[in-house]
Amino acid sequence: MTSTSPKIACLGWGSLCWQPKELRTAGGWQLDGPMLPLEFTRTSDEGKGRLTLVVTPGVPEVQSLWVLLDYESLEDAREALMVREGCLPGGVGVWPGPDEHKRLGGGTIAAWARNKGFDHVLWTALGPKFMNENGRQPTSAREAVDYLRSRPPAVFAQAEEYVRKAPLQVRTTFRTAFEERLGWTPHQPPL
Asked, as a colleague might, if the bond just before 96 is cis with ω within 30 of 0, I would say yes
According to the model, what pLDDT value does residue 187 have? 82
CA torsion angle 14 20 26 27 (round to 10):
60
According to the model, what pLDDT value does residue 64 have? 98
Average pLDDT over residues 93-100: 85
Average pLDDT over residues 106-130: 96
According to the model, what pLDDT value does residue 98 have? 75
According to the model, what pLDDT value does residue 156 have? 95
Reported as a single tens digit per residue, the pLDDT across 99-112 is 677 889 999 999 99
pTM for this model (two decimals)? 0.93
Reported as a single tens digit per residue, the pLDDT across 13-72 is 999 999 999 999 999 999 999 999 999 999 987 667 899 999 999 999 999 999 999 999
Average pLDDT over residues 128-151: 95
Query: Is 80 exceeded by the pLDDT of residue 4?
Result: no
Nearest-angstrom CA–CA distance, 56 and 174: 12
According to the model, what pLDDT value does residue 144 have? 97
According to the model, what pLDDT value does residue 111 have? 96
Residue ranges per structural domain of the chain: 8-182
Nearest in space to 41 (alpha carbons), one of 104, 106, 97, 109: 104
Nearest-angstrom CA–CA distance, 110 and 170: 20
**DSSP structure class, residue 59:** S
Average pLDDT over residues 163-167: 95
According to the model, what pLDDT value does residue 101 have? 76
According to the model, what pLDDT value does residue 13 have? 97
Question: Which residues partner with 55 through β-bridges?
Answer: 38
Nearest-angstrom CA–CA distance, 178 and 147: 11
Nearest-angstrom CA–CA distance, 88 and 81: 10
64, 36 Cβ separation under 8 angstroms? yes
